[in-house]
Structure 1
Amino acid sequence: MAEQQQNKYAKIVWTVTEDNFFKDEIILEFHSFVRIISGEMRVVQAERSYTFGAGDTLLFPRNQLSAVIKRPKDGRPYKAIVLGLTTDRLKEFYTTNKIETIHPIQYGTKKFDRHPLLDGFFASLSSFFDLQDELPEPIASLKMQEAVSILRALDKTVDGLLADFSQPGKINLADFMEKHYMFNMPMEKFGYLTGRSLSTFHRDFKKVFYTSPQRWLTKKRLDLAHYQLTEKKKKPVDVYLEAGFENLSHFSFAFKKQFGYAPTSLI
């Protein structure tokens, strides 16, 4: 079970997951500043995977496709505080704060070492969840400015990411899909991230791959799972989520239909 408590003005979320695991495929509308309180979070992206635990502080860029798996650890559920750095608030911040140098944009997830500035900031956020009423808008605005100021103090390259307000443009469809096929997202999302409407996405996809997106995605995911089982010697329960399947039974059925034998026979 995953629970969330949110402050609407500040986009501050207290999230708790008490299940053995909780998986979600996400494309964030805005950058998210996260402190993990307990439990473990595994983030799978196109180029690499990350595992984060209690005490870690992260910055997730917007418009980046990720599979997020949250698990309890050491007898404690997954808990985290999330602050959304919305585009409107960032635009407001950068109209009054000068950018000294624009560094190349680093789109990957950023992890920050423990620091008194971070500890104090997230401690202040956690206290807001005891409020009976909404956090007043002026205070919410100040907390967002504080967050960005801390990020800028700890990472001199972060302005390149936070001050980039562009939307995804039309990109090479084949390259994108080969890197992101394991993400179980609606076709509309794949279209958006490649700079296409849904109808254009389907049309361009068939021109490039000579089949439908769903058939191509299923085959690619099963091939990935087969490789993980045979070459990496992983178990089906450790493979199906990262290969883009929603549950183990669906994965096992599709795998047997494709290869003629159950994934458990490879253990």
Structure 2
Amino acid sequence: MDVLSIAGMAAGVVAIVGGSILKGSGLGALVNPAAFVIVMVGTFAAAMLQVRLETFRHSMKMFRWIIHTPVTDPEEAIQKIINWSQVARKEGLLGLETTAEEETDAFLQKGLQLLVDGSEPEVLRSILEVDIATREEYDTKGAKVYESLGIYAPTLGIIGAVLGLIAVMGNLADPSKLGPGIATAFTATIYGIASANLFFLPVANKLKTAVATGTTYREMLVEGLVSIAQGENPRNIETKLNGYLSKG
């Protein structure tokens, strides 16, 4: 569980709500159904118009990565690859057949099966790199949906503000309607800017980071599997793969 993401979202809510209270506006100033409909519904409508249904669905599923980041343990993977290389040196590549059948990671299972089938190192690399590129593109498109929401939200906030001001101008003779109109105008702006900068854009950036991390992890796996196919010394493989470990 990513505690920092939870803390960040909570702090964003506290910043807006707490600021409203400290400024004397109170919570009521932030509650405006008309502004919410204009900004949020309009923002999602624009994003839905931009992408395909499958991409939008995938982006919604990816949101859980903010709390539960996809598990990748490079150190454990390196140790597994070293063990596989030792087996391959002793028993040959066919000695990994049982391991391939028992592997739960679909990407690794495919790579191991290619090893067992005797695929040439460069053929193995090219096949797996296609998988990596396809997966990265698919996930990046999902992350960009949130980036789009962050771009559209402030604009819809401005539209909400303009509509609120139009309502005000149309009811100058009726003071009872001036307050709600002005409230819609300012609240819509808050919804648009706050949602973009405290939620949508940070979520997009965090998802992009997760995608990049996953891509690097799979590139490391490919390098390890290719090294096994080339019959490299396990110690040399370990030294090479340790270069992928983050030192930050």
TM-score w.r.t. the length of structure 2 is 0.20
| More helix by percentage | 2
**Structure exhibiting the larger radius of gyration computed from Cα positions:** 2
